[in-house]
Every structure is written in C-alpha cells, then in structure tokens.
Amino acid sequence: MPMTPDEIAHCLNALPWSRREVARRLGVDDAALRKMARGARPVAHNLAAWLRLLAALHGALTPEQREIARAIGCDEGRFVRHPRGVRPLDDEEAALLETLAALHAALPLPVGWRTNAVQPDTDA
C-alpha cells in the first residue's frame, strides 16, 4: 500500500531523529525526503515498511521511555538492562526497549538500502 504524505509525516514524527537525521541515515538528501513527505515523490515499498515498523515501536513508548531509549542507544541497536543514570526499568519496559534495540540492530536501514545510495523515484 502506498504511503500517504500524512502517514509519512506521522511516521517521521514518531521516530527519535530529526528529518535531516533520517535523510542522513538513509543516504538521501533532505530535499528527497521533503518531496516524499509532501507526496511529490513516491515512497519505496521497503522504505514505507521500515518507517511503519519503526514508528509503531517508537510510538508505543512514553516520552520518558523515548528519553531512556535514546540515552541507552536503542536506536543504535544497543540495550542495557540496568542503565546508569536512569531510573530502573520494569520488566515490561525492558522487554519493549530490548525489542526496539534488536530491531534497530537487525534493520538499521530499510531492506535493500545502503548508506549513501539514493533510491529511484519509482515505487516499484
């Protein structure tokens, strides 16, 4: 299913990164991401699936959990069960953050993407 501009905006807002950081991680320039966000450029299926999955997991976090996830490096694929400098995690929070870190470790980029590779304008 094609990603709508509203959906891409929702997904991007749920992620812990700025739009510029998302573009950097994907290896595209900011303009390409802006075009996708306003519907002027289609979003590739693999990118849409990646954004939806990450947004669903990040969207399940409370603002406090997002800060903890950022502090312990979940978006870099790291997880620490007993992190220093943050309050203790209960089992449910730990499981959620561990899942998030594992996802980021397994899928740092959408399937088929590689750093500094601009994807074609087609959605095929």
The pLDDT of 77-90, averaged and rounded, is: 88
How many folded domains does the chain comprise?
2
Per DSSP, the residues of 21-90 read: HHHHHHT--HHHHHHHHTTSSPPPHHHHHHHHHHHHHHHTS-HHHHHHHHHHTGGGT---SS-TTSPPPP
Q: Is the pLDDT confidence value at 116 over 70?
A: no
Residue 61 has what pLDDT?
92
- Is residue 124 a part of any domain in this protein? no
State which residues form the domain around 45.
1-59
Same domain, 38 and 26: yes
**pTM across the whole model:** 0.78
Same domain, 49 and 79: no
Q: What is the pLDDT of residues 14-53, one digit of tens each?
A: 988 899 999 888 888 899 999 999 999 999 999 999 999 9
Nearest by Cα to 110 from 59, 51, 39:
51
Residue 121 has what pLDDT?
42
